[in-house]
Amino acid sequence: MALNVFDFDDMSQPDYGRAHVRVGLIGHGIQLSRTPAMHVAEGAEQGVSYSYDLIDLEVMKNGPFTLSEILDAAEAAGFSGCNVTYPFKKTVIEYLDILSSPARRVGAVNTVVFKDGKRTGHNTDYWGFAESLRHGLSGVKMKTVLLLGAGGAGGAVAHALKTLGVENLLILDTSLPAAETLASTLGGEAISDVGAAVARADGIVNATPMGMVKLPGAAIPTDLLKPHQWVSDIVYFPRATALLRAAKATGCQTLDGSSMAVFQAARAFKHFTGLEANVARMRATFEAFSTN
């Protein structure tokens, strides 16, 4: 499916000939994202004229541009809103007028809606991960969970885990202050002894970029894993990350990042259009990448 690449120099609103929803994804190195295709295909299924631009700072011409400039340009071009991904989920907040309750609690935004001259920030990662875990790892023990990563995605996952009943949330990040800040917000525990934390955990969630094509490897030594544990990774390209491959080989139950990607996209679609997305259809679009 051909997708638009946003031209920063063209801030005009194209004449689509009828009511149109135009959105984009702001991030760095996002050419392999499956989110645009899910949105465009679902829009077509619901009879909505829908386009989705990739606003990729890694490939944009005539840059660099600031996040503020990009938001201004997208809004001026008639966008209904934008999804926001790494590394802007926290920094985008200072350019918004309103935060939804989930976004305020998490302290990160992945969906921005432009409406009536206001910019509203939402966090659909929070709901997306919770739904993913409910569907994909139902019934697993979650008394103690080790969270890898305290960034924008990590904050969303942390709040989802507490909502799902995790009693002891252990948080590991390359920045101990970041882990401590998130832990203090949720009553969790920032940890530095990786071996001891893994040994305590019923489950482990990777919310870092580690495992992506551009950042191969795992955020923890995989030889620490035990067969009784479950392991989830929010990375979905590749779906079989180094962490998940090692976990499967150890005998752990595993959950890849595909379901979170689908659920968060479905919730974002509703924010942009006011329409309920068909999650099964969006999942089918996501899975079609595996056969293309």
Active-site residues, by number, are: 89
- Is residue 76 within 8 A of residue 11, CB to CB? The reply is yes
State which amino acid sits at residue 163.
T
Alpha-carbon torsion (259, 265, 266, 268), positive or negative: positive
In one-letter notation, the amino acid at residue 290 is S
Q: What DSSP line would sit under 145-169, residue for residue?
A: EEEE--SHHHHHHHHHHHHTT-SEE
Q: Where are the alpha helices (DSSP H) in the chain?
A: 35-45, 67-76, 101-106, 124-136, 152-163, 176-186, 194-200, 242-250, 258-273, 279-288
CB 170 within 8 A of CB 158: no
Beta bridge partners of 203: 145, 230
CB atoms within 10 A of CB 14: 12
Q: Which of 63, 118, 112 is nearest to 88 (CA)?
A: 112
